[in-house]
Structure 1
Amino acid sequence: MSVRRVVPNVPVGGGGAGSEASALRDNAAFYGMLGFEEVMNHGWIMTLASPTQPAAQISFMTRDETGPVDPDLSVEVADVDAVHAALVREAAEIIYGPHDEEWGVRRFFVRDPNGKVVNVLTHR
């Protein structure tokens, strides 16, 4: 199974739409000073990446738009369905999905041995 990237999902905001948007902007400005640039922003999740190392990314999330919980990190894989099948065979706790999301990914959530929620995805 091929891992394409791993992205931490940092929770932000929580005080309403205005403060959530402000929290995303504040993080974009701060991490911009470290060299990160915005590569995705859905209003509830924003991902910043290094322009010279595009797989070096960090996401800031106000809440997950469709999932039942907010994932702690995201792992992009080459074949999300194969990873899902392997985890189901091992009786891993699947929390959500697999589901085709309107923003162009197929994903599922799984709980790791530490209790962290991992968003496993493939871009369609």
Structure 2
Amino acid sequence: MEIQTSYSVVVTDHITDCRDFYVRNFGFKVVFESTWFIYLESPGERHVAVAFMTCDHPSHPPGPERFSGEGMFLTLQVADARQAHDHLEQSGARIAYPLADEPWGQRRFGLRDPSGMWVDVVEQIDPAPGFWDPYMPAM
């Protein structure tokens, strides 16, 4: 089997708000849009994709259950988290987790999209010396 692409579909009543959130804040482009389904891709060579679907969609499965906002998050890796943070903050986005350097090797911040999904924006940095040692399997 050759997997051609992968993307998550979030079932929500807020598909147009989600579309606008990702287009405005992260530069995603609308690839396909209907009254009940919107598919977005990030700019650049290595596309990241996400889709949003209304609860009254005609495709089954999945069922019409709305995403509850718990137990899932989207990570967007960027080259410069500080620049992304400042851009989003200046645009009026509500940052829910402030910019921080994490000991496991990420500079990151977070916010929620209109569906309630957590969006974790990360830049890879060097981890604190020895941080990963207790978590690595013995060889």
TM class, shorter-chain normalised? 0.3 to 0.5
| Bigger share in strand | 1
TM-score, normalised to structure 1, is 0.42
Using CA pairs under 8 Å that are at least 6 residues apart, name the structure with larger relative contact order, 1 or 2: 1
